[in-house]
């Protein structure tokens, strides 16, 4: 037998106000209640209806990348766009999705990366193109160290 949990209007309102643009469905799922109940609370307190946002339409991979990242001190770049559930930053352009690291590498180096792309700087999550390395670059650096 499943226990029925009562959810107060205050709890629903708190969840609606927890983020910048929280959907009725997200709050309903959180509490296991109907979307309609959340919408009723939203209307009762005078919050505007939730309107699902449209993703910006980018003209190129470069536009998509720069539109979802920002330069920060020291030549690094912070990702402000979409992430996968595991936290990896991803760039969507037309019908394709690639990691921001691979896109940054390609835009900076003018070629596709070979193997995994890793950061050469110590700033977690940095997506600056000049701070991304592929297998070829790592092997060249390793050979240089051995000489």
Instruction: Tell me the pLDDT tens digit for each residue of 50-94.
Output: 767 666 788 999 999 999 999 999 999 999 988 888 889 999 887
Query: Is 17 contained in some domain?
Result: yes
Same domain for 37 and 69, yes or no, is no
Same domain for 106 and 40, yes or no, is no
Q: What is the mean pLDDT of residues 43-52?
A: 78
Same domain for 67 and 138, yes or no, is yes
Query: Is 4 contained in some domain?
Result: no
Task: Please answer whether residues 69 and 100 qualify as being in contact, where contact means their C-beta atoms are separated by less than 8 angstroms.
Answer: yes
C-alpha to C-alpha distances, 107 to 76, 100, 112, 127, nearest whole angstrom: 15, 10, 9, 11
Same domain for 82 and 16, yes or no, is no
Same domain for 89 and 29, yes or no, is no
Q: How many structural domains is the chain composed of?
A: 2
The whole-model pTM stands at: 0.62
CA–CA gap between residue 109 and residue 87 (Å, rounded): 24
Same domain for 13 and 81, yes or no, is no
Q: How many CB atoms lie within 10 A of CB 86?
A: 5
Domain of residue 36 covers 9-44
- pLDDT at res. 13: 87
- pLDDT at res. 125: 87
Q: Is the pLDDT of residue 27 over 60?
A: yes
């Amino acid at each position: 037998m499943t226990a029925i949990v009562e959810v107060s209007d205050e709890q629903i309102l708190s969840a609606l106000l927890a983020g910048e643009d929280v959907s009725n469905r997200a709050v309903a799922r959180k509490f296991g209640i109907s979307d309609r109940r959340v919408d009723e609370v939203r209307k009762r307190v005078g919050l505007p209806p939730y309107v699902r946002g449209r993703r910006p339409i980018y003209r190129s991979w470069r536009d998509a990348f720069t539109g979802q990242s920002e330069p920060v001190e020291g030549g690094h770049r912070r990702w402000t766009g979409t992430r996968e559930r595991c936290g990896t930053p991803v760039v969507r352009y037309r019908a394709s999705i690639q990691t921001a690291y691979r896109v940054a590498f390609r835009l900076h180096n003018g070629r596709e990366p070979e193997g995994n792309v890793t950061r050469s700087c110590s700033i977690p999550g940095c997506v600056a193109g000049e701070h991304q390395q592929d297998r070829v670059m790592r092997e060249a650096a390793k050979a240089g160290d051995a000489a």
